[in-house]
Amino acid sequence: MSRPQSMPDFAALLDSSTSMFEKRIHSRRQTSPERKNVHLRKKPSLSLAAGLIMNNESPRSMLPPASPVKPRSREGPPSVGIEEQQEDEDMFYAYALRSDVPNFPPYILTFASITVCSRWWAFVKHEYPESARPSLQFFVVRSDHLETIRDDSKFYEIHNRWFYTAQASTASSPTMIPVQTSKSASAATSQQATGDNTTMAAMERLTEKLDRLAGIVEKNVEQIHALSVAQSAGLQHMQEINESNSSQIKAIGDAQLKLQALVDQNASHYIALSNTSFQSHEQTRKSQQQTKVSQDQTRKAQDETRDILKTTIAQLQTLSHNQVQLSQTCEGIMRSVESLSNSVVQLNSTTAISDTASVQSINSTAPSTALARRISPGPRKLNRRIKGVWYEYDDPCTPSGTPRRRVDYLDTPPKSPIVFKNVRA
């Protein structure tokens, strides 16, 4: 954005159409001591355009200075020198509306002549710009300003040439003042004025309007110049602000990209963390289920162990009872064995006696046995052994097999070895 150029020569554009005010404008720019103070005063309440419209529409509008009074200059307050009042000038009356209290009746201003009124209005307009003069005999002034004007030293030369009167109240009828022209004459007298006076008044009005227009043009030129300079400075400042904003926006964009990257990274971390948490939760749930199953199995094993222990206790009780019975049975068997051993002893003693008798009988029958052996064949033997029995015809001297021996009862194998095993167990 290029910086707009200021318009210092804006006055030259207006000088082409208003060349007659060129010298006055440039002289005021160079020599005006009040240039700095003009902008400090308040603006008038009525604009120039509104004043011109009111002057054109009002049938009584006449410009004040009929006498050769110079237009007010902006170089300073108007001169206070008062010329000698002409003898043909009459007193001049006007209304002064109080702008702060417009509902109250206006003041009645009385001047020694129209010239004094013009001087007074020049002072008031210079010192109190917010005051206005819509028509020749009508002013708009604040109440406190009128009181201040009476005591102001700048109005000293015309101090005794004017005064104001306040009306009683709104209820009473307002005071009527005569309608006068710029020559302090009444309306009937003004109709008899010559054409020269009318032309002079028109020229004076035109001069004053041109003077006002020149002042307005000068003020507008100054304001436009100041506005252009301010606009240039504002645009330059705006350009700097835009550049700063651009850099800030770029930094914000970079920060947003970084933030988006961080958000994406956090999202991936969050997803991974969620998956890990879900897996850990599933593992925890499975481990809890396994723990529950193992607890159930442990409970079942404990129940089975309890049942086994109960069964074992019952079996132990039964076994102890059987052991008691077995011990009793063993005691009975031992008693039976003892009785049997006693019987065997007795039997052995009896067998010894019978053996002795048998030997003796064999010795006595040996010759008959030899005789019988010579008789062949001998009697057939049974193919088995009989415990403790032998045949009478066997030869005891020449045994054909293993020597016989006496078989005791205890040497015979038991019929039921299981009984002895149980006893030993």
The band of 251, judged by pLDDT with boundaries at 50, 70 and 90, is: very high
Helix (H, G, I), strand (E, B) or coil at 96: strand
Confidence at residue 275, expressed as pLDDT on a 0 to 100 scale? 92
Residue 382 to residues 96, 139, 379, 385, Cα–Cα distance (Å): 190, 190, 10, 8
The predicted pLDDT at position 100 comes to: 82
Binning pLDDT at 50, 70 and 90, where does residue 3 land?
Answer: very low
- For 147-171, what is the mean pLDDT? 80
Q: State what percent of residues in the chain have pLDDT above 70.
A: 58
Contacts of range 172-175, beta carbons closer than 8 Å, 24 or more positions apart: 174/105, 174/106, 175/108
Residue 47 confidence (pLDDT)? 42
Q: Is residue 83 classed as helix, strand or coil in its secondary structure?
A: coil
Residue 126 domain-assigned (yes or no)? yes
Confidence of residue 158 (pLDDT cuts 50, 70, 90): confident
User: Is 166 within a domain?
Assistant: yes
Asked if the structure places residue 387 within a domain, the reply is: no
Task: Quote the pLDDT of residue 234.
Answer: 92
Question: ∠ CA 158-159-163 to the nearest 5 degrees?
Answer: 105
Q: Which domain holds residue 114?
A: 64-187
Query: Residue 226 has what pLDDT?
Result: 93
- Residue 255's SS3 state is helix
Q: Could you give the count of Cα atoms lying within 13 Å of 126 in the half-sphere of its Cβ? A: 19
pLDDT score of 392 more than 60: no
In a domain, 139, yes or no: yes
pLDDT band, very low/low/confident/very high, at 45 (cuts 50, 70, 90): very low
Q: What are the backbone dihedrals phi and psi of residue 180, each rounded to the nearest 5 degrees, phi first? A: -125, 160
Do the bridges between strand 92-98 and strand 138-141 make them parallel or antiparallel, or are there none, so unpaired? parallel
Provide the number of structural domains found in the chain.
1
Tokens of 176: 């009527």
- Asked, for residue 302, whether it belongs to a domain, the answer is no
With pLDDT > 90 as the criterion, what percentage of the chain qualifies? 20
| Total count of residues recorded for the chain | 425
Q: Which of 99-108, 127-136, 293-302 has the lowest mean pLDDT?
A: 99-108
Mean pLDDT of 167-186: 69
DSSP letter, residue 157: G
The pair phi, psi for residue 110, each rounded to 5°, is: -125, 125
Q: Is residue 136 part of a domain?
A: yes
Tell me: pLDDT of 247 over 70.
yes
Mean per-residue pLDDT of the chain: 72
Instruction: Place 169 in a pLDDT band, splitting at 50, 70 and 90.
Output: low
The rounded distance, in Å, linking the Cα atoms of 383 and 372 is 21
Whether 149 is covered by a domain: the verdict is: yes
Band of pLDDT at residue 401, cut at 50, 70 and 90? low
Q: Mean pLDDT, to the nearest integer, of 75-98?
A: 61
Per-residue pLDDT, averaged over 1-18, amounts to 46
Is-contact 390 404, C-beta < 8 A?
yes
What pLDDT is recorded for position 222?
Answer: 93
Q: Look at residue 378 and tell me if it is in a domain.
A: no
pLDDT of residue 412: 53
Region 137-154 average pLDDT: 84
C-alpha span between 206 and 183 (Å, rounded): 17
Task: State mean pLDDT over 208-221.
Answer: 92
Q: Which residue has the higher pLDDT, 389 or 154?
A: 154
Question: Residue 271 pLDDT > 90, yes or no?
Answer: yes
